[in-house]
Structure 1
Amino acid sequence: MKCVTTIHELRSDLKPSRGKIIGFVPTMGYLHEGHLSLVERAKKMCDVVVMSIFVNPLQFGPTEDLEKYPRDLARDTALAEANGVDFLFTPSVEEMYPTASKTLVTVKDITDSLCGASRPGHFDGVATVVSKLFNIVQPDYAFFGMKDAQQVAVIQQMVSDLNMPVTIVPCEIVREADGLALSSRNVYLNEEQRRQALVLFRSLNTVKQAFDNGERRTAALKEAAVSAISKSPEARIDYVEIREYPSLAEIETIDGEALVALAVYFENTRLIDNIKLSVRGGNAHVSHHDESQNSPGHGDRSELELCGQYNN
């Protein structure tokens, strides 16, 4: 594995790989099995795998956890190498933003709700850094976890609107054995908060059960989720929403593809989770996020088997 810290060096090192299939896994580090599952999928689909580790200041608000965001580059480097990453790109903030940026990438409408409403400017920071990374790496495929389904929708929209020659591969949420979605921020939880955080998965299962039993009204399904979460005394709800996916438009009943998304605080730690539901031909389905979006120039690869934040 080659470790690279500068844009110039990475571009130079990747020149011999042009013409091969390049896969890209962008992360903010503090790697866990969710990140490594993206690498595993990338290795199956691509000849060369590039991972980036960069805690992007543009996507953090002034009261958020930029300074205390967990970091352990030595550990991450060892994990990346052990799991077959070919190039590990770990730029500094000064390398990525040598001057105050006068250009931001903004995706409209689908960033107005959910995490976009709770974290103003967050998705401008995500879209901007991902756009920069795509320009630097020039991958054929980029792999993102569906734990942040809104982020995936934003990036897919950006790629489509700007005709970026990269295929976005959404990958399934990876969970602990007890159901908690893996996240670098789980390290913030104390033992009791970790136990109570299971209410996120339980609430989604409550919604799924009601949906399987025929409930299609989003208000009733949201009420079931809120009721389940409220049983956890330390849980503070940021939002519980059910939206059409990927447009994230408000809906009153589920009659197609829908995203059940939630964000919950445990003291200062904010966790997100989601599940996708769909009604097809009058039948209910639970999606495992195995769809991908093919951008111009990669339609000939759409038959490949695909998996289901800026990854964290």
Structure 2
Amino acid sequence: MFASQAFFARLAATAARALLFIYAITIAAQALPLKVFAMDWQISMITVITNSSILPLQGLVLAHLAAYLDPAEPRYEVFCQNLRRWALPATLGFLLFIPLQSYNLVKGIRNYRQNAAKNERTITQTFGDIRNAVERASTTADLQKRLADLNAPGLSPADRTAPLPAIRPTLLAEIQKAEKKAKANIAQQDPEQFWLFSKQMVGSILAAFAFAFAFAAAAKRSAWPESLLVRFIRYLDWLRKFKSTALGQKVDNFKAKEKAQKDLALTQRSLQDHARKEAQLKKQADNEARLREKHIKAMREKAVRDEQNRNKFDKK
């Protein structure tokens, strides 16, 4: 073991602890005050965690580097084992961030639409009240009082001295122009805020997935022979094979069932044909029997008539 390797091992371990400490301080500072069920708090916390999680990941790498450079020092190996155990809940936490941020994204989009509709209604109502005040006022002083009651901008000094019928069309035109401008400003600002929010949420979701993958590669319990990621990949491979086998069995069963149904249909068709032929033969035999009976009956009747005719002839 070279002295330089031991030095760099201590440096890497110290840097790893420093990075973990900075990460913990950053998260703790952002978490206070706790508002666990507030959407804004959840979004800000998850954003800070995902943006800062490169620090513990680097610390994890540096800790393993220290153990690699100085394998004779047991402290570094114990440090790595502790970090690998802590990587397991970190992986689960990042996986939980994905559905949570997805829910917050959907909720934020719904809130954006509701706020946009609410702002538009507020602008329409506000300018509608001002327009009604201008239309219903009888004098300039009355209009000034109505505008003050609505907390709207008052008349200019020149308009206060002018007769109301003369300035009313101009005021209505200015109100309409101001209303269109206010709605245009909101329509211009809202999409920018919406896209910024959407990009932030999608970025945090993708970052959470990436960090879950990274920490899963390091997550390992002492009883496990391999990391969580390797175990998960093995499980996916087993699941794929199981599905393929189960699917193959289902296909074979389906083919066998289909063949059995076809054979049964052929057998039923053959039985029906045989029964139909037997019925035809029976009908033919019955017809022949009836014809023979008719023929025999006719011969008997003829014999009786002949006998009667002979008797009559003998009597004569």
Asked whether the two chains share a fold, i.e. TM above 0.5, the reply is: no
Greater CA radius of gyration, 1 or 2?
Answer: 2
Say which structure is richer in strand: 1
Instruction: Name the TM tier (shorter chain).
Output: under 0.3
TM-score after normalising by structure 1: 0.21
* TM-score for the superposition, normalised by structure 2: 0.21
More helix by share: 2
